[in-house]
Amino acid sequence: MKLAVIGAGWAGLSAALQATRLGHHVTVFEASRTLGGRARAVPVSYTHGTQEHHWLLDNGQHILIGAYSQTLALMQCVGTPGTDLLRTPLTLLYPDGQGLRCPDLSRFATNSIATQQILSLLEVVLGITRLPWRLSERWALIARAMRWRQQQFTCAPNLSVADICEGLPQRVLEEFIEPLCVSALNTPPSKASAQVFLRVLQDALLGTAAQDAQAWGLPSHMLLPRTDLGHLFPERAAQALVQAGAKLHTGVRAQLAYAKQGHTPQGWQVQGEDFDQVILATSASDAVKLLDAAKQDAPENIAHYIQCWQHITQALAYEPIATVYAYAPEARLRAPMLALHSSAEHPAQFVFDRGQLQSDPADTQHGLLAFVVSASRGDAATLQAQVLNQARAQLGLELTPVKTLVEKRATFACTPGLQRPCATVAPGLIACGDYIAGPYPATLEGAVRSGLHAVDLLS
């Protein structure tokens, strides 16, 4: 099959790799000259005194978990070594050293799925008991988690995370539920879908580890990138595609059209070239724009399919994520990642020590911290000032700003009962991306699974 993939983010690259592996003739079109979509590297230059720094920073700091089986499998496929990810047990420590710290039980990892599940649950239970909570608070969370497990981590689709956590002690909500919910769904518990939240918990606690247990660890393990996101997967994926004979065009804003005289049954053209089928792997808003032009010359029934798909897609709401990079030569955290106490005045939920994460000695980022503000509000200048005050108050650090990146449409708002667009847009036209209907929120795993599913739908 002659296949066009429009978009070279994680979803598009996953689709292209899978289609190539199945023997299809793939051409990828990417409007940017940088691969990776919203999960990409951004070059930044910064001068401190007489010292100049030239860094490749991420457009947003990402966390993976060991249960991201499809993402990790594809990364292995394109040659990403396990050393490019820092593997740690699930940990949510605050600057004072308190918080959730699960023990590392990976030395007991086995090929037995049942054993892996027991180890993951044991990790979290042991970590919970290390929190500075009263015994009643610890048991309240454990009892609620056991109830979710008995219900097979399912609930009514109209419930929020706050609904299924009603009655839990306030400290459990503030120090455990809220950080997990915001980091996983980028949506506060009062507005976040309980159904999706429970699915993430299920996979993290009861999922299966990646094939290479030594490289990736248990499902509940956090995996922190030690290289920029572009090098972690997109660049290697592009190399694998070219080596397999696929065509990759960057810096090309592709145009989609319905060709009445085309030689293919569906009649789709990209850049004036006929293709058997097309996969739209752009953002939701860009997909809607592409389809506006495509449906003009399409038959009435095709145009109707497209119109219905656009209607659902345009109804999606979005949550922004801001990443504030700040620097001080002496800055070093007690761990590569710390949780922060978040409020309206102190908006960051997490901070990452880039110096501790970097694996390449030539790309030293010692003293550089990345503050993540999920579901951020306000302009970049205001957020930056608030985060610097937060660093002073909670970390005791005087930092200078380096770069503040705000991704206004970082994720869709993962709300209860949300209707997401399906993958099939019209005959011969399939969409993929983290916003497409599926069990996951807007995560790298959601994007990758959507790309693989799009290839499954090729006919």
The predicted model gives 121-144 an average pLDDT of 72
Q: Where are the domains of the chain?
A: 2-36+233-316+419-456, 98-213
Residue 213: pLDDT over 50: no
The secondary structure of 327-376 as a DSSP string is E-TT---SSSEEE----SSS---EEEEHHHH---TTS--TTEEEEEEET-
Residue 425: pLDDT over 70: yes
pLDDT at 207: 60
Nearest to 246 by CA among 27, 8, 11: 27
Q: What pTM did the predictor assign?
A: 0.89
Nearest to 193 by CA among 159, 227, 168: 159
Confidence of residue 211 (pLDDT cuts 50, 70, 90): very low
Confidence of residue 320 (pLDDT cuts 50, 70, 90): very high
Average pLDDT over the chain reads 88
CA-to-CA dists, residue 270 to 76, 252, 301, 303, 431, angstroms: 31, 11, 20, 17, 15
In 180-233, the DSSP E strands lie at 222-225
pLDDT at 266: 58
Whole-number Å distance between alpha carbons of 137 and 100: 14
Q: Work out the percent of the chain whose per-residue pLDDT is above 90.
A: 61
Are 65 and 88 in contact, with CB atoms under 8 Å apart?
A: no
Are 4 and 252 in contact, with CB atoms under 8 Å apart?
A: no
Whole-number Å distance between alpha carbons of 69 and 203: 10
Confidence of residue 53 (pLDDT cuts 50, 70, 90): confident
Residue 205: pLDDT over 90: no
pLDDT at 212: 47
Whole-number Å distance between alpha carbons of 327 and 338: 16
Confidence of residue 129 (pLDDT cuts 50, 70, 90): low
Q: Which of 13-27, 35-49, 382-396 has the lowest mean pLDDT?
A: 35-49
Helix axes 135-150, 113-129, angle to 10 degrees: 150
> What residues are paired with 52 via a beta bridge?
47
The secondary structure of 165-190 as a DSSP string is TTTS-HHHIIIIIHHHHHHHHSS-TT
Tell me which fold the domain 2-36+233-316+419-456 belongs to.
FAD/NAD(P)-binding domain (3.50.50)
pLDDT in tens, 233-256: 999 999 999 999 999 999 999 999
The predicted model gives 136-164 an average pLDDT of 90
Whole-number Å distance between alpha carbons of 362 and 50: 19
User: Residue 442 CB: number of other CB atoms within 10 A?
Assistant: 24
Q: Which of 66-70, 78-82, 130-134, 154-158 has the lowest mean pLDDT?
A: 130-134
pLDDT at 110: 53
pLDDT at 23: 96
The predicted model gives 164-178 an average pLDDT of 91
pLDDT at 134: 83
pLDDT in tens, 258-303: 976 544 555 799 999 999 999 999 999 999 999 998 998 899 999 9
Report the length, in residues, of the chain: 459
Q: Work out the percent of the chain whose per-residue pLDDT is above 70.
A: 88
Q: Which of 75-84, 125-134, 217-226, 372-381 has the lowest mean pLDDT?
A: 125-134
CB neighbours of 134 closer than 8 A, spacing ≥ 6?
A: none
User: Residue 124 CB: number of other CB atoms within 10 A?
Assistant: 20
Whole-number Å distance between alpha carbons of 254 and 447: 21
Q: How does 182-197 read in b/e, with b if 16+ C-beta sit within 10 Å?
A: bbbbbbbbebbbbbbb
pLDDT in tens, 439-451: 889 999 999 999 9
First to last CA, the chain: 9
Whole-number Å distance between alpha carbons of 437 and 453: 11
